[in-house]
Amino acid sequence: MVANIHSCGIVGIQGQPVLCQCDLSGGLPQFDVVGLPDASVKESRDRVRAAVKNCGFEFPQRRITVNLAPGELKKEGPIYDLPILVGVLCASKQLPLPPEDACFIGELSLEGRLRPATGVLPMALAARDAGIKTLYVPEDNAAEASVCEELTVIPVRDVPQLAAHLTGEVPIPAQPCYTFATQWQEGLDFADVMGQEMVKRALEIAAAGSHHVLMIGPPGSGKSMLAKRLPSILPDMTLEESLETSKVYSVAGLLESGTPMLQSRPFRSPHHTVSPVGLAGGGSTRPRPGEISLAHNGVLFLDELPEFRRDAVEVLRQPLEDGVVTVSRISGTFTYPSQFMLVCAMNPCKCGYFGHPSGRCNCTDQSIRNYRKRISGPMLDRIDLHVPVSSVAYDQLRERKPAESSEAIRARVNAARERQRARYAGTGVHCNAQLTPGMMREHCPLTPEAQQLMAGAFDRLGLSARAHDRILKVARTIADLAGEERISHMHVAEAIQYRSLDRDTLL
Ligand SMILES: Nc1ncnc2c1ncn2[C@@H]1O[C@H](COP(=O)(O)OP(=O)(O)O)[C@@H](O)[C@H]1O
Ligand SMILES: [Mg+2]
Ligand SMILES: [Zn+2]
């Protein structure tokens, strides 16, 4: 007899329904798994055989064939252990066949315990979309799966417990549904940063529209200090955004078992030794999302940008443009989302003190140019806000007059983001940084004066078309912070001012 058991796999960060067909027939005892299984799926046979025996069942001395369908999908990882085991026990009539709309996911230990799996959230979403009603998952992943309120999620500890549930002897209580809530993380506050009003304003604009920022200033001017406080002013995450990012974390195995979804925007700050694969994702054995995908809908902070490997920084170019990263593997290519806000910090020159009032810098023009060339033109072009950071005056530091709190700034950021959400509702675009050229024509109306200013700046600064679009998006955000629908020349003027490096004036 053939037992058909539903399961699910992962391609990139998407779940993919898989049907596990288990056939018992006469002939010499044999156990085959077919349907493009990789090595870890083939090893399922040994784990399933051991788990069946160690949990007091009988391993059928027949010819067992397991087919994982669809055949063209490459099956990876050990998560098919559980459906295979259930298939074997059902086909040999040791367990009743579960209903058509049940789905099983999980890796087994030799004793028959379920081990935590990666990617359960996207698999649960895919199962739901395929019409599954009951999902059996490892206990540790139950909270993650319970995000889908349409599913009944059964947390499974081990095989005997599951068997008692399926026979109706001792039902396992279903996992309560998870309700999403955003949370503001207490922590570092902008109130600690004296002065630096210009930089804070730029960071507020960046947070409001999710624009990319580069801070340039001497050591000790507070660049790292400012960047580390960004999470405190980022807008609240929506359910949709959190789901997108949580799927990435699920696949990377980074979701905590208690909190199945991200409650606030990610802030990733990789070390400058990070490899291109570490940033972009991929890997030869098990594919893994990189830092740029873990920062999806949040911030990627590269402190001391010129210290980063050039090949690593260059992999950012395509994702910065497309909002997705394409990873190639032997089994094919797939994409991870990567719509992040890039925040970089760097010194103005090799010694760090170019433009410092102390006059300490004695770098030559050539050495300064060489230093800045480490950041390629195309990268600079993609950064919306170029922000000079100068050292704060001693008086300002000494005064210790508490500056505006992060909470006050965040209230303005949230209001500006709310305007964007209302304007772009139903388009899949969350904020101004994600506007497509077509949407920009519709949603970035300029006053006649603003238009004139834009045209003038375009000629005078010799801007690229890309820089032009970026200025327009930033101006859109500045208008949103001001609560205005039309973009005025004041908004455009402020946006242009943040393109200091296009003007190629040394700071
Ligand atoms: N505007 C400021 N207000 C208060 N403290 C500051 C300010 N700027 C710098 N500092 C102090 O100087 C330290 C060094 O700043 P940091 O952010 O590491 O500078 P950078 O990254 O630019 O080299 C901070 O940890 C902080 O104690
Ligand atoms: Mg620093
Ligand atoms: Zn110098």
In 3-state terms, what secondary structure has residue 171?
Answer: coil
- Looking at residue 95, its pLDDT comes to 95
Cis peptide before 445 (omega within 30 of 0): no
Q: Average pLDDT for consecutive 10-residue bins of the chain (507 residues)?
A: 92 91 92 86 91 95 93 85 96 94 95 94 94 95 90 96 96 91 80 91 97 94 94 92 92 83 93 94 81 96 93 91 84 86 93 82 87 82 91 74 90 97 92 93 94 88 84 96 95 91 54
- Both 107 and 221 in one domain: the answer is no
Taking CA 487 as the corner, what is the angle to CA 437 and CA 390, rounded to the nearest 5 degrees? 95
C-alpha closest to that of 30 among 51, 59, 52? 59
Number of domains making up the chain: 2
- Looking at residue 503, its pLDDT comes to 58
Specify the CATH number for the domain of residue 83: 3.30.230.10
**Which ligand neighbours the alpha carbon of 352 most closely?**
3
Is 172 a domain residue?
A: no
- For atom 16 of ligand 1, which residue has the closest CA? 222
- For atom 25 of ligand 1, which residue has the closest CA? 225
Is 195 a domain residue?
A: yes
Ligand 1 atom with the smallest distance to the CA of 392 is: 1
Residues within 6 Å of ligand 1 by CB:
193-196, 217, 219-225, 392, 397
- Looking at residue 90, its pLDDT comes to 95
- Both 320 and 213 in one domain: the answer is yes
| Containing structural domain, residue 101 | 2-166
Ligand 1 atom with the smallest distance to the CA of 227 is: 17
- Both 251 and 328 in one domain: the answer is yes
Q: How far is CA 94 from the centre of its chain?
A: 43
Ligand 1 atom with the smallest distance to the CA of 221 is: 22
- With DSSP H G I counted as helix, E B as strand and the rest as coil, what are the percentages for the chain, rounded to 5? 40, 20, 40
Tokens standing for residue 75:
């099956």
Distance CA 122, CA 477 (A): 32
- Both 310 and 403 in one domain: the answer is yes
Distance CA 490, CA 474 (A): 12
How far, in Å, from the CA of 267 to the mean position of ligand 1?
Answer: 19
- Both 162 and 267 in one domain: the answer is no
- Both 233 and 323 in one domain: the answer is yes
Pocket test for ligand 1, best of 190, 200, 221, 225 (most atoms within 8 A of CB): 225
Distance CA 296, CA 247 (A): 10
Collect all residues with Cβ–Cβ distance below 8 Å to 451 and sequence separation of at least 6: none
How far, in Å, from the CA of 387 to the mean position of ligand 2?
Answer: 15
Distance CA 326, CA 334 (A): 6
- Both 78 and 43 in one domain: the answer is yes
- Both 27 and 89 in one domain: the answer is yes
Ligand 1 atom with the smallest distance to the CA of 215 is: 22
Ligand 1 atom with the smallest distance to the CA of 218 is: 22
- Looking at residue 506, its pLDDT comes to 41
Distance CA 194, CA 196 (A): 6
- For atom 4 of ligand 1, which residue has the closest CA? 193
How far, in Å, from the CA of 346 to the mean position of ligand 1?
Answer: 14
- Both 49 and 159 in one domain: the answer is yes
Residue 473 zone, left/alpha/beta (φ > 0; ψ -120 to 50; rest): alpha
- For atom 8 of ligand 1, which residue has the closest CA? 222
Q: Are 213 and 383 in contact (CB under 8 A)?
A: yes
Distance CA 2, CA 22 (A): 5
- Looking at residue 504, its pLDDT comes to 54
Tokens standing for residue 420:
């964007």
How far, in Å, from the CA of 225 to the mean position of ligand 1?
Answer: 5
Tokens standing for residue 144:
């993650």
Ligand 1 atom with the smallest distance to the CA of 217 is: 22
Distance CA 102, CA 111 (A): 24
Tokens standing for residue 143:
């909270």
- For atom 13 of ligand 1, which residue has the closest CA? 220
Specify the CATH number for the domain of residue 346: 3.40.50.300
The pair phi, psi for residue 25, each rounded to 5°, is -145, 170
Distance CA 168, CA 464 (A): 68
- For atom 7 of ligand 1, which residue has the closest CA? 222
- Both 116 and 199 in one domain: the answer is no
Is 488 a domain residue?
A: no
- Both 124 and 264 in one domain: the answer is no
Is 504 a domain residue?
A: no
pTM recorded for the entire structure: 0.88
